[in-house]
Chains A and B, each alone.
Chain A
Amino acid sequence: MTSLDILFGAVGLITAASAVLAVTTQQLVHAALWLVVALGTLAGCYLILGAELVALVQLLVYVGAVVVLVLFALMLTRAPMGRSPEHSSSAVQRIAAAVIAAGTTSLLAAVLLPALGGEVLSARTGDTKAIATQLFGAWVWPFELLSVLLLMALIAALAVSRMPTTSPTSPVPAETEST
Chain B
Amino acid sequence: MIHLWLPLALVCVLAGAGAYGVIARRNAVLVLIGVELILNSANLLFVTMGSVRGDALRTGQVLTLFLITIAAAEIGVALAVILALFRKRGHIDLSEPGA
Contact = CB atoms under 8 A, between A and B. Distances in A.
Main secondary structure on A side of the interface with B? helix
A52 to B, nearest CB: 10
Given A61-B72, A135-B62, A139-B57, A97 B9 contact: no
A31 B14 CA distance: 15
B10 A89 contact: no
Contacts of A16: 10, 13-14, 17
Contact of A168 (B15, B72, B75, B87): B87
Contact of B54 (A74, A77, A124, A168): A124
Nearest to B73: A153
B83 to A, nearest CB: 6
Contacts, number: 289
Given A16-B17, A66-B75, A93-B24, A2 B1 contact: yes
A121 interface: yes
A111 B4 CA distance: 14
Interface in A84-143: 86-90, 93-94, 96-98, 100-102, 104-106, 108-109, 112-113, 116-124, 127, 130-131, 134-135, 138-139, 142-143
Main secondary structure on B side of the interface with A? helix
Interface of A: 1-2, 4-5, 8-9, 12, 15-16, 19-20, 22-24, 28, 31-32, 35, 38-39, 42, 45-46, 48-51, 53-54, 57-58, 61-62, 65-66, 69-70, 72-74, 76-79, 86-90, 93-94, 96-98, 100-102, 104-106, 108-109, 112-113, 116-124, 127, 130-131, 134-135, 138-139, 142-143, 146, 149-150, 153-154, 156-158, 160-161, 163, 165-169, 172
Interface of B: 1-27, 29-30, 32-34, 36-37, 40, 43-44, 47-48, 50-52, 54, 56-58, 60-62, 64-66, 68-77, 79-84, 86-93, 95, 99
